[in-house]
Amino acid sequence: MDKHTTIQQDKVTEIVKQIKNKEIWFGLLGSGSFWQKWWTYEGVSGAENWGKTIDEWLICSNGKFQSPIDINTSHLLYDPNLDPFYIIPRKVSGNITNTGRGITVDVEDGPIVFSGPLKYRHKITQLKVHFGHNHSKGSEHSIDGRRFPAEIHLITYNVDLYHNLSQALDSFHGVAIIAIFCKYGVPSNEAFQLMSKYTEIVRLKGQTTTISGIPLEILFPNTDQYLTYHGSLTTPGCSESVTWIILNRPINVKQEHVRISCNKVKSNVVQEKGKLCADFPNINMNHF
């Protein structure tokens, strides 16, 4: 660690200490809502400092199964006993929101996903799209060091054991996330195009609008092959309760759709401030 890095880390520690002292002054120490608003993907409140703020997030720094990861294909093992996983087709409705950190779709009565590495039925409850400042490196996961322009996450929870996502987050076999990589190409994925039309409506942080008629099953690439590993949420508090299913083929998207989402859609309530795209957490090298 060089001198500059040491100074930066000392600065981060001091800022976090000051924040905590202010919280004590205002009687807010330990307030989950404060820290949930505080974290970002970059800077002092970025991923490398999540585990230094409150005890509930220590696993973000000290966990053994943290995501995202770089997938080293030479270390992958083939499991002949793994079946394909299935999604029950249906058009979905819900709300699409600019959270200030990304685009999130809260799905109403989402489709059921089952089989594959899943021991129970799972329901799709959220969809998130991740972009980066560099339009060619927006994905959270990477393969042999290579990132993709974007990465879609379909967040599911175990509907057989738990009533909702919140209950499942910290629970065994609670959550599965299906990851779909995006690359530039034609024809562009139809479901992604439909969602892109809604993205410009929620240009500012906190804006939301309803969506309907999105056939999530056509968001999937034409493959039944995937890799799976046990990992974590990629946001605080980094719960290690996630079964990751990463499809081995990307979908095609138009570059203009990614540029619109990154450049025109803002991370702030003020239109002129902040791009929505961000540089995501450093890749965790502990898995493969």
Q: Tokens 């991740």 map to which residue?
A: 130
CB 139 within 8 A of CB 150: yes
Q: Would you identify the CATH topology of the domain 70-264?
A: Carbonic Anhydrase II (3.10.200)
Res. 54 pLDDT band, cuts 50 70 90: confident
pLDDT score for 281? 54
pLDDT at 128: 94
pTM: 0.84
Q: What is the 3-state secondary structure (H, E, C) of the chain?
A: CCHHHHHHHHHHHHHHHHHHHHHHHCCCCCCHHHHHHHCCCCHHHCHHHHHHCCHHHCHHHHCCCCCCEEECHHHCCCCCCCCCEEECCCEEEEEEEECCCCEEEEEECCCEEEECCCCCCEEEEEEEEEECCCCCCCCCCEECCECCCEEEEEEEEECCCCCCHHHHCCCCCCEEEEEEEEEECCCCCHHHHHHHHHHHHHCCCCCEEEEEEEEHHHHCCCCCCEEEEEECCCCCCCCCCEEEEEECCCEEECHHHHHHHHHHCECCCCCCCCECCCCCCCCECCCC
pLDDT tens for each residue of 197-250? 888 888 888 899 999 988 889 999 999 999 999 999 999 989 999 999 999 999
DSSP state of 260: I
pLDDT value at 161 more than 70: yes
Active site residue 157: no
User: Cα 50 from chain centroid?
Assistant: 15
Q: Can you give the residue ranges of every domain in the chain?
A: 3-58, 70-264
pLDDT tens string 163-212? 999 999 989 899 999 999 999 999 999 999 888 888 888 888 889 999 99
Question: pLDDT tens digits, residue range 72-124?
Answer: 999 999 999 999 999 999 899 999 998 888 889 999 999 999 999 999 999 99
Euclidean distance between CA atoms 41 and 68, whole angstroms? 13
Q: Which residue in 41, 162, 184, 198 is the catalytic one?
A: 162
Looking at per-residue pLDDT, the higher value among 22 and 265 belongs to 265
Please check whether residue 261 is in contact with residue 278, taking contact to mean a CB–CB distance below 8 angstroms: no
